[in-house]
Structure formats: C-alpha cells, structure tokens
C-alpha cells in the first residue's frame, strides 16, 4: 500500500514569480512586472503614468486609461522584475532539486519570452532556446518537466492591443503560442497544464470587483474564451504528439458548511459548484454543467458563444485533473462575528483548525476530502500541483553554518503527504505532488518575499536587498528522505 511505484514527487514554481530577468532575452512585459509589493493587510498596486505625466497607483486588475503607459514609479518596489533570479540561476537550482531527488518539476513558460507582444507570427528564438536548455538540463538530471502554459502572465502588450481575455482574438494568439511550445519541445516535455487556476477569474471577483453584474459578465466571458483556448490547445497538443498528457489546473480550497442548517449545506455546495465544478466540468467533461444557468442568471450574464465553440470544448477534454490546495473555508448563511480572511476568501472561523500567519486554515483532512470527491466526480488521474505553507523563516548561525529550522513547514507537509497516502489507499489515482514555491519566490497574493514556501531559502528581502544565494532549509533534508522512501519516512 502507500504511494505507487513511479509516483511523481517534485516541486512547483511559475515564470513570473521565479525568473526575474523581466527585460532580458527579448522578453516582453507582463502586468506583474509593474505590480508593487504589498503585505497581508496592504494591497499590491499596478502602476502607470498618464499622458500628462501624473503617476497612478491603480488596482491590480485595472485597465490602462487612454494615452497612459505602464511604468515603474521611482518610490515603488517591483518584486517580480528580479524575483529570485531563476532566469540566471536555473542550472544551480536544478542541481539542488536533483539533490532532493525530484522526479518532476512544475514550471511555466513565460508567454512573453516567446511572443513579447503576443501578436508576432514567429517566436523570439532566444526565448525558445532558453526553455529548451531548461528542459534538456532537467532531463539530464532525470527530472520530468510539468509545464504550465499560462500562469497569470498574459503579455501586457496583448492586454493593451486587444483588451484582454474578453476579446476572442486572445484565443488564436494563445493557441499559436501553445502550438510553438508543443512543436519545439516535442520529446522533451510530455506533461502539460493549459491555464493555471483558471477558476480564479471567477472566485477573485467577489474579493476585488465588489461582485457587480458587470464584473461577473466580464469574468464569465473571459472564462469562456479561456475554455475554448485551452480546449483548442489540448486538441493541437494531442495531434502534434499523441504521447502528450495535457491537464487542467483548478484552485481548490475546500468549502464546508458552517452548521448543519440545510441552508448552509446548500450554500456550501453552490459555492463549490461556482468555485470548482464550473471550470472542472467544462475542462474534463467538455460541456457546461446544468448548474451554469443558475450561476449566469444570478448575475444576468449573457454569454457570447460562437459556432464551433461547443464542439471545441467537447473535443478538447483534458487527460488529467490537477489542482492547488492550501486551505479550506467555511460558508454560512448566518451572521458570524468570528471571521477569518485568507487566500482571497473571507468567512467564518473554523474552530477545529489552526491558521497560518497569513490567515489560511491549515487542513490536511480537507486535502483527503478534495482528492476523494474530485476523483469520484471526474475519474481521471489527479495531481496536487500546489500545496504548502507560506511562513516567515529565520536564518540562524550555528557553528559557522547558516540554518533554517522550518519544523512548522515540515509539520504542514507531513500531514498533507499522509492525507494523500490515505486517499490513494481509498482508491484515488494520484500521479504526483509538486509543493508550491519549492524554491522561495515572490508571493502572488501579497508580492512579499517574506512569505516563504521553499525547501530552498533565497537570500532576498522585500526591498530588493540580498545576495540571491540559495540555502538548504531543514525541510530540504526532510523532503529528500520523504522522496527516497517514496513517502514512507516522514519523521
């Protein structure tokens, strides 16, 4: 029993949060590059300059006004521009991952490294060759690449020229980029994910957009285009190489009812339909679920669907289902005074759980519940492609050595590994586990460096000071033992 032979142990990063090198190698900009750092309680801003020279700190999702241009403001810090310098240090990092025993490395290809403005007809060779080198080096170390094609980094020029994913033109631009990846890396990459946490488009609007009907209309339309783009990419990926395994990627916070009031049970189920099943059903089953009508009607959404879209969805279903799992949330129809906020969700506190320094409920049983319910629904192989504890780490000097005693992180991971093992014993077909930010990187939510997930520490702070040197945390040795024993030695 336990983890199957060949289980894919590894770790995950994304280009925009790991690479830096934002204006090197012919790369075009992404919105993230012009987004400031924040904290748990203060937001990140996207910054631009108006035609008359006025500097503006806008919301992360705001549109650029006519005549304005995106810009780094002198009094702001932009953590993603340098990130943890993975662009230059990838070989050193692959050595460390190989030392831990990684079987798989989840990374993303920066779209704007290959298509700087998104509209070019031929890719930027320097970008293409950069990733070829990365994949060859991973293979040389016996590490299988698991490649996300879009991880929150649509080229900024494309957002400006087309307006963003609400424009159908994005479908063709994305598919051209994906086709290049499938052709160029045929034989080097076998496992692909189309769009990272595709459901975030929907789940984040309550948080950022105030949940207006217009915000939902926009998000549902953008999602429809992303579904079609993803489904077309799946079809092309299969045609180019029948060995390609192409998956979806869905953010999966578990949602529980706060009480046994039937109204709470229903509210929690409806939330789960909206947050997880809406996207999962389209990508795995190739059709919109029955409850879509309820979701659309609630916000007067009129979806523009063109001829052929439904056929594309049906023909481009994914081979496996992957998800991120960090925490669970509680849903209730009752007034609650004891609330918690974390991972862009606000809700009642769960008295049975403890919370991270960023307010995320730590819930390994919720991972087992996810694995069992998702597998039961979809019956395709699963991978947990993000999981982990964002925490403050302290570097201490001991006998002339620098140490990071991150036992809190080991405790978190150990319980989640056990939850996966139980789910496997209960029949779930789980292929792999790639904890998030295996090397410290820039937090997506807050833009912080101090919110660290890694087995490998990176010497970098929130003002851009640090050597960028890599250090092995205690969790590094723990994970090495975990992998070597195929998940048995978790002490």
Distance separating alpha carbons of residues 106 and 364, to the nearest angstrom? 22
Distance separating alpha carbons of residues 153 and 70, to the nearest angstrom? 15
- 197 is a catalytic site residue: yes
Q: Contacts with ligand P53: how many residues (CB under 6 A)?
A: 17
Catalytic residue among 184, 386, 421, 448: 386
When asked if residue 144 is in the footprint of ligand P53 (CB under 6 A), the reply is no
Q: What is the smallest separation between the CB atom of 181 and ligand P53, expressed in angstroms?
A: 19
When asked if residue 196 is in the footprint of ligand P53 (CB under 6 A), the reply is yes
Q: How far is CA 292 from CA 11, 88, 185, in A?
A: 34, 45, 37
Which are the contacts of 26, defined by CB distance < 8 A and separation ≥ 6? Answer: 113, 116, 124, 126, 127
Q: What is the smallest separation between the CB atom of 360 and ligand P53, expressed in angstroms?
A: 8
When asked if residue 447 is in the footprint of ligand P53 (CB under 6 A), the reply is no
Q: Give the closest residue to 454 by CA, choosing from 363, 374, 390.
A: 390
Q: Which CB sits closer to ligand P53, 48 or 358?
A: 358
Task: Name residues contacting ligand P53, limited to 356-375 (CB under 6 A).
Answer: none
When asked if residue 451 is in the footprint of ligand P53 (CB under 6 A), the reply is yes
Task: Give the CA diameter of the chain.
Answer: 69
Q: What is the smallest separation between the CB atom of 43 and ligand P53, expressed in angstroms?
A: 12
Distance separating alpha carbons of residues 108 and 105, to the nearest angstrom? 10
Using the contact rule CB under 6 A, the part of the chain among 82-90, 118-126, 401-409, 444-452 near ligand P53 is 444-452
Of residues 124, 194, 283, 324, which one binds ligand P53 by CB under 6 A?
324
Sign of the CA dihedral running 377, 378, 379, 385: negative
Q: Which CB sits closer to ligand P53, 12 or 128?
A: 12
When asked if residue 327 is in the footprint of ligand P53 (CB under 6 A), the reply is no
When asked if residue 341 is in the footprint of ligand P53 (CB under 6 A), the reply is no
DSSP 429-481: -EEEE--BTSB----TTT--SSSB--SEEE---TTS-S---EEE-HHHHHHHH
Kindly give the pairing relationship between strand 55-58 and strand 46-49: antiparallel
Q: Which CB sits closer to ligand P53, 79 or 390?
A: 390
When asked if residue 197 is in the footprint of ligand P53 (CB under 6 A), the reply is yes
Q: What is the smallest separation between the CB atom of 203 and ligand P53, expressed in angstroms?
A: 8
For the chain, the distance separating the N- and C-terminal CA atoms, rounded to the nearest angstrom, is 19
When asked if residue 226 is in the footprint of ligand P53 (CB under 6 A), the reply is no
When asked if residue 436 is in the footprint of ligand P53 (CB under 6 A), the reply is yes
Q: Which CB sits closer to ligand P53, 12 or 371?
A: 12
The backbone torsions φ and ψ at residue 140, rounded to the nearest 5 degrees and listed phi first, read -60, -25
When asked if residue 443 is in the footprint of ligand P53 (CB under 6 A), the reply is yes
The backbone torsions φ and ψ at residue 319, rounded to the nearest 5 degrees and listed phi first, read -85, -25
487 is written with which tokens? Answer: 């998940």
Residue 386 DSSP label: E
Using the contact rule CB under 6 A, the part of the chain among 3-11, 265-273, 279-287, 437-445 near ligand P53 is 437-445
Using the contact rule CB under 6 A, the part of the chain among 121-129, 194-202, 297-305, 309-317 near ligand P53 is 194-202
- 386 is a catalytic site residue: yes
Catalytic residue among 144, 159, 184, 197: 197
Q: Which CB sits closer to ligand P53, 34 or 288?
A: 34
Distance separating alpha carbons of residues 376 and 226, to the nearest angstrom? 25
Q: Which CB sits closer to ligand P53, 93 or 197?
A: 197
Task: Name residues contacting ligand P53, limited to 8-27 (CB under 6 A).
Answer: 14, 17
Q: Which CB sits closer to ligand P53, 151 or 225?
A: 151
Q: Which CB sits closer to ligand P53, 257 or 390?
A: 390
Distance separating alpha carbons of residues 107 and 133, to the nearest angstrom? 14
Distance separating alpha carbons of residues 344 and 203, to the nearest angstrom? 8
Of residues 82, 444, 458, 483, which one binds ligand P53 by CB under 6 A?
444
- Position closest to ligand P53 via CB: 445
Q: Evaluate whether 231 touches 82 at the Cβ level (below 8 Å).
A: no
Site string for ligand P53, 383-402 (x = CB under 6 A): ---x---x------------
b/e per residue, 412-432, with b = 16+ CB within 10 A?
bbbebbbbbbbbbeeebebbb
3-state helix, strand, coil in the chain (%, to 5): 40, 20, 40
Interface ranges with ligand P53 (CB under 6 A) = 14, 17, 196-197, 200, 251, 324, 343-344, 386, 390, 436, 443-446, 451
**Residue positions annotated with a catalytic role:** 197, 386
């Amino acid at each position: 029993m336990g983890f199957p032979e060949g289980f894919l142990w590894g770790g995950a990063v994304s280009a925009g949060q790991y690479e830096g090198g934002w204006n090197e190698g012919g790369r075009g900009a992404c919105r993230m590059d012009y987004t400031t750092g924040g904290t748990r309680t203060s937001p990140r801003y996207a910054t631009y300059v108006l035609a008359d020279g006025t500097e503006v700190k806008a919301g992360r999702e705001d549109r650029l006004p006519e005549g304005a241009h995106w810009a780094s403001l002198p009094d702001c810090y932009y953590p993603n521009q340098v990130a943890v310098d993975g662009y230059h240090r990838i070989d050193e990092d692959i050595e460390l991952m190989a030392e831990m025993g990684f079987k798989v490395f989840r990374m993303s290809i920066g779209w704007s490294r290959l298509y700087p403005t998104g509209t070019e007809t031929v890719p930027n060779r320097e970008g293409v060759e950069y990733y070829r080198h990365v994949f060859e080096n991973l293979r040389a170390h016996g590490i299988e690449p698991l490649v996300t094609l879009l991880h929150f980094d649509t080229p900024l020029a494309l957002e400006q020229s087309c307006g963003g994913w609400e424009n159908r033109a994005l479908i063709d631009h994305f598919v051209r980029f994906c086709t290049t990846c499938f052709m160029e890396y045929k034989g080097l990459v076998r496992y692909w994910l189309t769009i990272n946490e595709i459901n975030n488009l929907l789940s984040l609007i309550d948080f950022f957009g105030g949940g207006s009907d217009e915000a939902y209309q926009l998000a549902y339309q953008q999602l429809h285009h992303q579904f079609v783009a993803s489904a077309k990419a799946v079809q092309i990926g299969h045609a180019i190489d029948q060995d390609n395994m192409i998956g979806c990627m869905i953010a999966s916070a578990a949602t529980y009812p706060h009480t046994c009031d039937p109204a709470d049970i229903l509210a929690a189920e409806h939330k789960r339909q909206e947050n997880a099943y809406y996207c999962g059903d389209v990508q795995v089953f190739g059709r919109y679920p029955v409850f879509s009508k309820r979701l659309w009607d609630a916000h007067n959404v009129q979806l523009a669907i063109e001829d052929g879209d439904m056929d594309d969805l049906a023909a481009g279903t994914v081979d496996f289902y992957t998800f991120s799992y960090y925490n669970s949330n509680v849903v209730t129809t009752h007034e609650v005074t004891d609330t918690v906020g974390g991972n862009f969700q606000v809700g009642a506190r769960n008295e049975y759980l403890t919370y991270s320094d960023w307010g995320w409920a730590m819930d390994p049983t919720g991972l087992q519940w996810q694995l069992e319910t998702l597998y039961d629904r979809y019956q395709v192989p699963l991978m947990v492609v993000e999981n982990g504890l964002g925490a403050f780490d302290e570097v201490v000097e001991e006998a002339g050595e620098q140490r990071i005693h991150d036992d809190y992180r080991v405790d978190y991971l150990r319980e989640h590994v056990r939850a996966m093992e139980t789910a496997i014993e209960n029949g779930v077909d789980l292929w792999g586990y790639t904890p998030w930010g295996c090397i410290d990187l820039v937090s997506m939510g807050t833009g912080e460096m101090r919110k660290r997930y890694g087995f490998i520490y990176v010497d970098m702070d929130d003002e851009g000071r640090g050597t960028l040197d890599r250090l092995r945390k205690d969790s590094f040795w723990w994970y090495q033992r975990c992998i070597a024993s195929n998940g048995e030695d978790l002490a």
